[in-house]
Amino acid sequence: MATIRLSTLAAAAALLVNCSAPVMAEMAHLRTIGHWEITANDKVCNATGPFRDGTSLEIAFNAKGALMIDVVNPRWSINKRDDYLVVMQVDRAEAQYFPASGHNDRVWWQIPPTEASINLLSYGRTLRAQIGSANLTFDLALSEPVIKSLIQCIAPRMAVANPFASQPPTAASKTPPASTLSPGFEPVPYAETPSNPYRRM
């Protein structure tokens, strides 16, 4: 698959450093891929995958080119803040720290909308997220067709929002990215968590 230039998309995403909560009002159902539901409005294309204990993982592109990860847990009651921190790791690739926002039952963060990120999400098997005291593990089964569907969904919305925007990135190949062991980050799947994972213990 041909590599797509990402400079315009990266520039658009750079405008969203202080990102606000994903807007999911009036989202229309587009399709279902396995356990993932694809929904969209005129600004966002979103995939929601439900997991154990009612926790959900959401992956979304918005019309400005941002790529967002959102974790929802109905048991959480998180104070509204934009200075939280999460650690995210896909398979055994290097764990990365991301600034995050949280409010009520959800935490969300922005990751670089690069080809490398798309490859990890598309071909990775497991996404781990350390959110405060909560260590969560999500199965990325069927993430490749899900990501492709989101890219197809958001491309025309990006063009409407910005006529100079390039297409979203696509995975370069079907070869999973090389990974390395990341010492000190071994989350326990679905650990029991308090209502606020950022609460001081």
Domains of the chain by residue range = 7-161
Burial class (CB in 10 A: 0-12, 13-18, 19+), 142: middle
Percent share of the chain, pLDDT over 70: 69
Per-residue pLDDT tens over the stretch 97-132: 999 999 999 999 999 999 999 999 999 999 999 999
Residue 184 has pLDDT above 60, yes or no: no
CATH architecture, range 7-161: Sandwich (2.60)
Residue 195 pLDDT greater than 60, yes or no: yes
Q: What is the mean pLDDT of residues 13-28?
A: 52
Q: Which among 64, 58, 57 has a CA at the least distance from the CA of 42?
A: 64
Q: Is the dihedral of CA 186, 116, 149, 13 positive or negative?
A: positive
pTM of the predicted model as reported, rounded to 2 decimal places: 0.73
Query: d(Cα 118, Cα 55) in Å, to the nearest integer?
Result: 23
Grade residue 53 by pLDDT with cuts at 50, 70 and 90: confident
Q: CA–CA separation, 176 vs 144, rounded Å?
A: 11
Under the banding of pLDDT at 50, 70 and 90, the label for residue 26 is: confident
